[in-house]
Amino acid sequence: MEKQTLISIYATELPENETDDTSCNDIFYEDTETDYRLAIRAAAEQVSGFLKNNKKPFSGIKPAMLLAEFENVNLENPLPDYKSLFEEVNALYIKHATAFHLPQYIAHLNCPVVIPALAAEVIISAINSSQDTYDQSAGGTFIERRLIDWTGQQIGYNNQCDGVFTGGGSQSNMMGLLLARDYYALTWLNHNIKLQGHPANANRFRIFVSEKAHFSNQKNASLMGLGEQAIIRVGTDERFRMDAAQLQQAIVQEIEQGNIPIAIVATAGTTDFGNIDPLTDISRIAKQFNMWVHVDAAYGCGLLLSEKYRHLLNGIEQADSVTVDYHKSFFQPISSSAFLVKNKFHLNIIKHHADYLNPKEQDYDELPAQINKSITQSTRRFDALKLWFTLRLMGKQKLGRYTDKIIDTTEQAACLLDNSHQFELLSHSDLGVLVFRYIPQRTTGIDIDAMNLYIKQTMFFNGEVLVASTKVNGQFFLKFTILNPLTAIQHIQNILTIIKKHGKDYEQRCHTTANS
């Protein structure tokens, strides 16, 4: 019996599908509590198998091969039991899912997750509260509000701050730009965009971002009707951070051309380099020109946890609004993000009332409604509970030590790359991103871009190591995104050895082909 897996034990106990269409035995309620327990335990066994069976971050399966597996699935015919269902999902998904928890995964901004947050997920999904109004969430409303207040305190805001949990950084950045636009129109043009639409000169509104800022700025400007032409990309310094002098020059130039600067988006943790724009200088320039400052700290928010590196975010407290992604740097499962404003009254700009949900005459001190702070979500998942579980059980200090470990490991890795003649490192990182490429011993007849692309793709389809890539000045580079406190410098050394091996293989193939 001990050697049997839970799934084999539960296969006979889990309920089979009923043929009676009027049966409610699949609904989660008091009479199906036993069925729920068995299903959840069987699902947990699948997760355990995922942990035990994955020694590589990816199976290496090609998209065409995986797609072919789906052609055999007939969604019109339900499966007979949970055993069949788990076997199907394992074959189609779990067996090939990317294992973010392994040190060999250093590709994108996907962090490993902490166990308390996973426990919270069970409660969140089953109770299924919606965070839009108090009568749908009760205590969930106040848990979210306390966590927003706590995050504001870490940023350096006072008790006048406010915010809301969102689905991700792009959505939070959208809220920042929307408030910046509408606040400018109300304050300086006496024009209410919410009621009246864009003013006649909205096509001259300009928003300034680093040339290394997140692509969501362009996308959001387009969605807001300003067009991508509203985004002015500012040059960067040798560490790929927004250059304050170039920012000032760009603003003056736009004014001279008859355009209207309304906002600056500073990045605290660029996706490509993990570096932080000069937040204090940017805020100073913004005040000079009466501009809104939004800080995209979707990645760099992890520094809020660190005593050792918190100073890198100095100046963030001067921003009008901030994006925070807990699912990038607080080790939370997707999704868990937030948008915060320094002045809570600015959120009134986006408030809308519906008689059936949040009527205008309601006393919102007595019956709070988080929907008043959200622009794109009415029904909204209680993701805040995951962070509550994490902070209450682990504490800020332990999470901060994880952040410190990641940054320290990244700096050690940067030194390894710097001290090797076989690699070109573009920049050290404030956080955990290193952009580099393999350089062959003999460059004659070698396309270095093609070589590094080959290295990345070979590792990916071998499933052995997953790295990301980017282009800088038209050249192809590999990218480490170190976001796992389990990743040690020994893992980085092993990964670099694998990269060198594939690089040498490519080099040998090129020279063999040339000689033949």
Judge if 430 and 379 occupy the same domain: no
- Given this model, what pLDDT does residue 510 score? 84
Q: Identify the DSSP state of 498.
A: H
What percent of the chain clears pLDDT 90, i.e. is strictly above it?
Answer: 82
Closest CA to 324 of 177, 468, 482, 154: 154
Judge if 166 and 218 occupy the same domain: yes
- Given this model, what pLDDT does residue 363 score? 63
User: Does residue 268 fall inside a structural domain?
Assistant: yes
Judge if 207 and 289 occupy the same domain: yes
pLDDT in tens, 116-157: 999 999 999 999 988 787 778 888 889 999 999 999 999 999
- Given this model, what pLDDT does residue 358 score? 62
Judge if 407 and 333 occupy the same domain: no
Residue at which a domain ends, from 67, 91, 115: 91
Instruction: Read off the CATH number of the domain in which 438 is found.
Output: 3.90.1150.10
Judge if 348 and 271 occupy the same domain: yes
pLDDT in tens, 396-446: 999 999 999 999 999 999 999 999 999 999 999 999 999 999 998 877 778
**Count of the separate structural domains present in the chain:** 3
Q: Cis ω on the peptide bond leading into residue 429 (within 30° of 0)? A: no
pLDDT in tens, 92-103: 999 999 999 999
Q: Identify the DSSP state of 71.
A: T
Judge if 419 and 483 occupy the same domain: yes
Above 80 in pLDDT, residue 332? yes
- What does DSSP say about strands 433-438 and 423-425: parallel, antiparallel, or unpaired? antiparallel
Judge if 440 and 479 occupy the same domain: yes
Judge if 435 and 497 occupy the same domain: yes
pLDDT in tens, 284-307: 999 999 999 999 999 999 999 999
User: Does residue 439 fall inside a structural domain?
Assistant: yes
Question: CA 387: distance to chain centroid?
Answer: 15
- Given this model, what pLDDT does residue 513 score? 74
Instruction: Read off the CATH number of the domain in which 306 is found.
Output: 3.40.640.10
Judge if 218 and 333 occupy the same domain: yes
- Given this model, what pLDDT does residue 4 score? 45
User: Does residue 110 fall inside a structural domain?
Assistant: no
How far is the C-alpha of 328 from the C-alpha of 387, rounded, in Å? 12
Mean pLDDT, rounded, for 75-94: 96
pLDDT in tens, 234-246: 999 999 999 999 9
Residue at which a domain ends, from 393, 428, 450: 393
Residue 2 pLDDT class (50, 70, 90 cuts): very low
Above 80 in pLDDT, residue 178? yes
How far is the C-alpha of 164 from the C-alpha of 144, rounded, in Å? 8
Please say whether the beta carbons of 106 and 495 come within 8 A.
Answer: yes
Q: Which residue has the higher pLDDT, 439 or 353?
A: 439
How far is the C-alpha of 17 from the C-alpha of 82, rounded, in Å? 9
Find the domain containing 39 and state its range: 6-91
Residue at which a domain ends, from 91, 122, 145: 91
Residue 516 pLDDT class (50, 70, 90 cuts): low
User: Does residue 504 fall inside a structural domain?
Assistant: yes
Q: Identify the DSSP state of 231.
A: E
